[in-house]
Amino acid sequence: FPDIDYAPALGGIAKNHLIGNHLAVEAICSTMRQAGVLCSHRTALDYALWDLLGRETGKPVYELLGGPVRDRIRIYRYNKPKRDELANEDAWRALGRKLAQDPGAAMKTDSWLNFQRLSGKNAWEDGVSEGGGRMPTEENMAFNEMVFRCLREGGGDKLDLIHGGHGQCSAEGAIATCKRLEKYDLLWMEEPVAPTSSMDEMARVARATTVPIATGENLQGLEDFTRLIDKRAASVLNLPPPNVGGLTEARKIAALAEIRGMQIAPHFFSYGPLCWVAMANLCMAAPNVLILEANSLRESSNGPKKLTENLFFKEPIKIDGYYFVPSRKPGLGYEYDEKFVVSRKQLA
């Protein structure tokens, strides 16, 4: 979320619509969008309004979004061996075996990034495509294939695998990598090319492979996701909690995706716990949710990094293995530690 210094400016715009009308969530957020309020700002306001609505009606937010369609939410995390074992096939197999022992196990790893971390390795060809991405070297693609082959050998069919990405590749590089990974039955390949540069390139990758393509962490609000859905540039949408336009826009994105046979898998890495519990409420109510990411926090430079150890709420977020059962308390489900919140220069 934005620096706390922006709060007075946001409050100045919002107060005329909130006073005496704070439960009109749809009208308020529509007005904020039409007024050009930054997506991150209206997202923060929207989460607060839904939380307030739940507290005043005595219901969890997911009940107000249509009621639960599941009794728990499946989650996944990033994982990889130790840095000095990244090139070790047995280390990847052992990781797969270990994770597969837990029901519902799923993991993500960015093997392009992992390959770059190997000292002295040339990860990319010299050429740069129009979309700004790069062509991975043959050795880079071979490393990617090794990683997912070994994870599959170790985890068998008890572990779901996700290839992370950060828009590094050209479309040609992404397609070439995906072709080598199709036989390992990935849950998805995430953001192989940058959608903010060209959704058309992302759509080209999606059409060229049987590996489902996911993207969304760098998009903002209903408008961006509508374009993505219309182009069928991905089949899994990674909604970005701080920039999705709040639950008001997120549920509309989920509905549009459902009509097109697409799934929702909200992104979560280095955000705050409020973002996560908001997305968890959406996941309880949206039929086409696949899974929810549950990675590290950004609460402070020296504070807890685990979602389950956050300081933002008075009580811990409890995750059981690869599943999360949301609170049945009103609103978003958790009480804020106001002393901690006001001590922050940034609200993450």
| Contact present, 165 and 186 (Cβ < 8 Å) | no
- The reported pTM is 0.92
Separation between Cα atoms, residue 188 and residue 344, nearest integer Å: 36
- Pairing outcome for strands 323-324 and 124-128: unpaired
Q: What is the band of 296 on the pLDDT scale with cuts at 50, 70, 90?
A: confident
Separation between Cα atoms, residue 95 and residue 90, nearest integer Å: 8
pLDDT, average across residues 284-303 = 83
Q: What is the pLDDT of residues 48-97, one digit of tens each?
A: 999 999 999 999 999 999 999 999 999 999 999 999 999 999 999 999 99
Mutual orientation of helices 246-259 and 39-57 as an angle, nearest 10°?
Answer: 100
| Contact present, 174 and 189 (Cβ < 8 Å) | yes
Q: What is the band of 306 on the pLDDT scale with cuts at 50, 70, 90?
A: confident
pLDDT, average across residues 221-237 = 97
In the predicted model, is pLDDT for residue 192 greater than 50? yes
| Contact present, 316 and 297 (Cβ < 8 Å) | no
| Contact present, 45 and 28 (Cβ < 8 Å) | yes
Superfamily name with CATH number, domain 66-342: Enolase-like C-terminal domain (3.20.20.120)
The ranges assigned to domains in the chain are 4-62, 66-342
What is the Cα Rg of the chain in Å? Answer: 21
Element (H, E) at 45: helix 39-57
Separation between Cα atoms, residue 181 and residue 254, nearest integer Å: 28
Q: What is the band of 1 on the pLDDT scale with cuts at 50, 70, 90?
A: very low
Position 99: which residue type?
L
Strand partners of residue 107:
77, 161
Phi, psi of 209 (to 5 degrees): -140, 155
Separation between Cα atoms, residue 250 and residue 221, nearest integer Å: 8
The dihedral over CA atoms of 293, 274, 285, 327, expressed in degrees to the nearest 10, equals 100
